[in-house]
Amino acid sequence: MSERIPAEVAAEVERQHALIMRGTAYGDDATRAAMDRELRARLTESLIEDRPLRVYLGVDPTSPDLHIGHCVTLRKLALFQQLGHQSILLIGDFTGLVGDPSDKDSLRPMQAEETLNRNAETYRDQAFKLLDPERTEVRRNSEWLGQMSFGDVIHLASNFTVQQFSERDTFKNRIDGGQPVYVHEFMYGLMQGYDAVALEADIQLGGTDQTFNIMCGRTLQERQEQSPQVAVLTPILVGTDGHLRMSKSTGNYIGIDEPPNTQYGKAMSIPDDAIVRFFDHGTNVADDEVDRIEADLQSGVVKPMDAKRRLARAIVTEWHGDAAAQEAEEQWTRTFSQRNAPDDIPDAPIEFGGADSIEIALPVLLHDIGAAASRAEAKRLVSQGAVRVDDEVVKDQSTQIVNGAVLRVGRRKWYRIIST
């Protein structure tokens, strides 16, 4: 078939495919290979038939605010929009009544309808910060789920077995642990699956925790003689703690409507090993620049602290603009420089040779400025993590020092490194 495809179509398919699949995550190689193959086929059909693909993202409005973790899939939806496809934002005002059990190890509380409706308006307004409202189809799944009879639900349920649902990790773990799983929780996968049928979706976006629900949609579409939707899955963004998924309930989130200073400070608190993940999935920084930042971090050309400053600026700039980002950075720097520091930090003059920064052996520096009685003691202090440069622990015996850096040794010794 590839030989009959015009060269310009084949080239465009490859371009779009590369953009769409960047940063995706699947649970196994077989699923990725199948979705990869089907995506190419759908893109080819779309271009040859001049028919935009119907791509949807469902969000349950269970809280009033979006955080940058939610925006991982929203960015993919915006990408499809930019590529000329039909983007659909589905507000799960009916599925939200049940609550998605995909990432929960206990029963999710059922939501009140008025709360969901109020949150839905907030979600939509915030989503339009990434999506073009003029080109976004906004739907609510109460349009079809709210009209179903009990007989319709029974017919829907007949497409699946209890074993299929009880083998889901979240349910299986609860069952094995003696925790209850309620029948209405099984209904969530059925409802989300039927969303794909009602929307006649070509593609559904979701985090990796949505794999089961999206596959339910594929099953129901096939039973309705529709082509099964392609799953484009994205990783779950960790929170500012670097371990748990980003969530308001755990407090490790960066809200897209939070003040600039709050966003900046939270970004600066993330662990070093999460920096690239935040760049890749939590910002609009271009892919090639993210690759360059990752390479520079690995080679040591860029320090984690400097990369985090770039990350924090990118986050604040996207949601509040350049001026707000600059002001937030200046405010953070002032606060950071003053935090726990004495008012009269003594100067420690060293020779910079006219440069703004120099590579220096820390044990030599600590001994020369009187922070350690001997170079042996200085080496111990460094290896024990007792030395900080601009509040960043330095365990390498040699490091880059900039003119004006604040050096802290232990809890009580402070020095401001200045050029002689």
pLDDT in tens, 387-408: 988 878 888 888 888 888 888 8
Rounded (10°) angle between helices 7-21 and 71-82: 170
Structure tokens at 343: 């008012």
Q: Give the rounded percent of residues in the chain with a pLDDT score beyond 70.
A: 94
Main-chain phi, psi angles of 327, to 5 degrees = -65, -40
Rounded Cα gap, residues 36 and 33, in angstroms:
5
Rounded Cα gap, residues 315 and 50, in angstroms:
36
Question: Please, which pLDDT band fits residue 107 given cuts at 50, 70 and 90?
Answer: very low
User: Domains in the chain and their CATH numbers?
Assistant: 2-234 (3.40.50.620), 260-338 (1.10.240.10), 347-419 (3.10.290.10)
Residue 176 CB: number of other CB atoms within 10 A? 8
3 state DSSP class of 363: helix
Question: Please, which pLDDT band fits residue 260 given cuts at 50, 70 and 90?
Answer: very high
**Model pLDDT, residue 134:** 94
**Model pLDDT, residue 112:** 66
**Model pLDDT, residue 353:** 79
**Model pLDDT, residue 165:** 83
Buried b / exposed e along 3-13 (16+ C-beta atoms within 10 A): eeeeeeeeebb
Question: Please, which pLDDT band fits residue 339 given cuts at 50, 70 and 90?
Answer: low
**Model pLDDT, residue 170:** 76
Rounded Cα gap, residues 231 and 134, in angstroms:
25
**Model pLDDT, residue 155:** 93
3 state DSSP class of 103: coil
Question: Please, which pLDDT band fits residue 106 given cuts at 50, 70 and 90?
Answer: very low
Rounded Cα gap, residues 53 and 174, in angstroms:
38
Contact at 8 Å (CB) between 62 and 96?
Answer: yes
- Tell me: the pLDDT tens digits for 5-62? 899 999 999 999 999 999 899 988 999 999 999 999 999 999 999 999 999 999 887 7
- Tell me: the pLDDT tens digits for 136-194? 999 999 999 999 999 999 999 999 988 888 877 777 887 888 888 888 888 888 999 99
Torsion of CA 100, 239, 311, 74, to 10 degrees: 0
Of the listed ranges 62-71, 194-203, 253-262, the least confidently predicted one is 62-71
Q: What share of the chain is helix, strand, coil (3-state, %, to 5)?
A: 50, 15, 35
Contact at 8 Å (CB) between 219 and 244?
Answer: no
**Model pLDDT, residue 111:** 62
Higher-pLDDT residue of 311, 28 = 311
Residue 408 CB: number of other CB atoms within 10 A? 21
Structure tokens at 235: 């990783």
**Model pLDDT, residue 102:** 53
Contacts of 252 (CB under 8 A, 6+ apart): 238, 239, 240, 241, 244, 246
**Span 104-128, average pLDDT:** 71
Question: Please, which pLDDT band fits residue 1 given cuts at 50, 70 and 90?
Answer: very low
